[in-house]
Structure 1
């Protein structure tokens, strides 16, 4: 990023201090994990600042060794810009063409909002294909995304936990039992260290989600905010993370339930595409060119390990079963983070029942029919 820094003189930890440029704060939100501030520039563009929340120790930084590998602006035609931003204060500053995430647009029942989100998911799928195709650097293997580490530490109880997170873990052992917890940890191990003949890790976004996806307000490119969650592991982790985001939305949003399960009045939320439709759009674009991603793409060469071969015009090879399991990891990580960085809520007990179902079905509802 070049030019005058419009946030110079501001303390990103507290928000104190004057802006020296003409950028105007238009949105501010966050949790104890991450704070987000959005500024509008005079040219109509936007700056997104992601920094540590009040319960997160230390700054939010992107691993420089991996940032250097992220494909640039012209890497993928029709793909989202993988915006790695720049270090600013204790966080990262990104440029985008919109002021609201795809997650925010999914709360808008107008048909055009649903079309905008579908377009953004298409762009995200193409960007992730490019990211996953980048060879990993020589030398020590890159660490897995930090979200996966947080999940493993919480589920295994190997580190001290915040009171609400410890309470959640006790309830999880009661509701899930030891067997479900063990399955979850096995899936996390496999996501970090892919198994099977020819299995290999790829460069991962680490938190691919509708909250990190920024559609343009009018003109411009979709942005996928990328940086501090970069890591390495099996490609299905990024796919499952995005699809698990949509699974959670379909379960937790009253508007979605009213629009798609027959519980609402006719026409209520009618402009919202179902989570299954959005999942199909995303996964179909990611695997386009494979024919059938499950039979030929997910294990067409017999290993089912998601190597990402593109020979003969084929799309990336991935394992649909692993995608479903990684979707479960995403929902559980979000649940764990809420307990750690927010406060206890009895809604977490509902999440435990919901995630028990997801574990039992291995996240199959995250992988739509027709692409698996």
Structure 2
């Protein structure tokens, strides 16, 4: 089967999604994703605003190319198409979807994808200053700060359930993650970051080709721990929300839980990340997910559990999201 090419723009013949075979559609309030199959066996993901979203994806120009490294995931840039963005990817399902498949081969696929994306993120983090139009904090951190200053109902509930102190800590950590405030003992400098290194944006190959990480709209400037903590936070959230993910039928053949996958991810990235900031960035990811859901879906009582879960993580500076050998490190009070 034809391997997926690198980060080059899509050929003009593939830009119109109407000529591709529909495979699936995923709709949230924030985003609609159409999965389409091309004649060469590769796939296109067409992402557009969801029914409750505001503006279409950013029109800021994307980089002409992104760094690459041996064994790394391809940082897949989109092509603006219609009111959305079109990505060329090697599969129809994300790593988040594969994680719910309990066959050992599926868990191995997720582990391999996480290792490859860690190498891809390291190459990005080492690639030098970002383009001027992509400097500044990633949009997710800006959304968190906007929410904290809003009169949204969920913001008021957060004030009641968290108290002001926890919100202030989150905003301070967001400044740390964006590289606008110094972190004691930091080894890795601020620079280009992906901004949304999520399992939902990570697409392993169905048969052949390189894993792809959907990249572009969330690019910004920050500390490398922001991207790493984003993935760790998502794994921690899944570990809490879906107990069925804790084991697999054959734990000897594949990483059997989100914490084990977190270890695979960090091992592939290599040394350097500050464990304190890793934990804090993991909490930021969960807090952003919480406020995104609340602002676009409205208040639901089930969010009470999420607020309690997040409050506990804030108090522990995200230690439960880290592998045990990192989570046991000393945290100085914020």
TM-score of the aligned structures, taking structure 2 as reference length: 0.88
Question: How many Å separate the matches in 2 of 1:143 and 1:235?
Answer: 14
| Counterpart secondary structure, 1:172 | helix
Unaligned runs of 5+ in 2: 1-8, 328-334
**Cα offset, 1:343, TM superposition:** 3.2
Q: 2:161 touches 2:307 (CA, 8 Å); kept in 1?
A: yes
Q: Which residue of 1 aligns with 2:230?
A: 241
Question: How many Å separate the matches in 2 of 1:114 and 1:141?
Answer: 34
Q: Which residue of 1 aligns with 2:93?
A: 100
Change (3 A) 1:130 1:341: same
* Pick aligned residue for 1:68 from 26, 41, 64: 64
Question: How many Å separate the matches in 1 of 2:106 and 2:177?
Answer: 33
Change (3 A) 1:86 1:353: same
Q: Which residue of 2 aligns with 1:171?
A: 157
Q: Which residue of 2 aligns with 1:357?
A: 312
Question: How many Å separate the matches in 1 of 2:134 and 2:96?
Answer: 32
Q: Which residue of 2 aligns with 1:145?
A: 138
Q: Deviations over 1:71-120 (max 9, x none)?
A: 2xxx2111000001211122211111100000000111111111000000
**Cα offset, 1:68, TM superposition:** 3.4
Question: How many Å separate the matches in 1 of 2:22 and 2:132?
Answer: 42
* Pick aligned residue for 2:244 from 255, 266, 270: 255
Unaligned runs of 5+ in 1: 11-18, 261-266, 291-316
Question: How many Å separate the matches in 2 of 1:46 and 1:138?
Answer: 29
How is 1:1-372 mapped onto 2 (pairs within 5 angstroms)? 1-6=9-14, 8=16, 19=18, 21=19, 23-61=20-58, 63-64=60-61, 67-68=63-64, 70-71=66-67, 75-137=68-130, 142-155=135-148, 157=149, 159=150, 166-192=152-178, 193-196=180-183, 200-256=189-245, 259=247, 267=249, 273-287=256-270, 290=271, 317-370=272-325
Q: 2:95 touches 2:204 (CA, 8 Å); kept in 1?
A: yes
Q: Deviations over 1:31-56 (max 9, x none)?
A: 22221111011111100111222222
Question: How many Å separate the matches in 2 of 1:77 and 1:100?
Answer: 23
Question: How many Å separate the matches in 2 of 1:220 and 1:139?
Answer: 32
Change (3 A) 1:62 1:204: farther
Question: How many Å separate the matches in 2 of 1:67 and 1:90?
Answer: 20
Question: How many Å separate the matches in 2 of 1:272 and 1:318?
Answer: 22
**Cα offset, 1:61, TM superposition:** 2.7
TM-score of the aligned structures, taking structure 1 as reference length: 0.79
Q: 1:27 touches 1:38 (CA, 8 Å); kept in 2?
A: yes
**Cα offset, 1:187, TM superposition:** 0.6
Question: How many Å separate the matches in 2 of 1:52 and 1:327?
Answer: 26
**Cα offset, 1:194, TM superposition:** 4.1
Worse overlay, 233-242 or 55-64: 55-64
Question: How many Å separate the matches in 2 of 1:335 and 1:139?
Answer: 30
Worse overlay, 137-146 or 124-133: 137-146
- Root mean square deviation of aligned Cα: 2.3
Question: How many Å separate the matches in 2 of 1:210 and 1:139?
Answer: 28
The number of equivalent residue pairs is 315
**Cα offset, 1:347, TM superposition:** 1.3
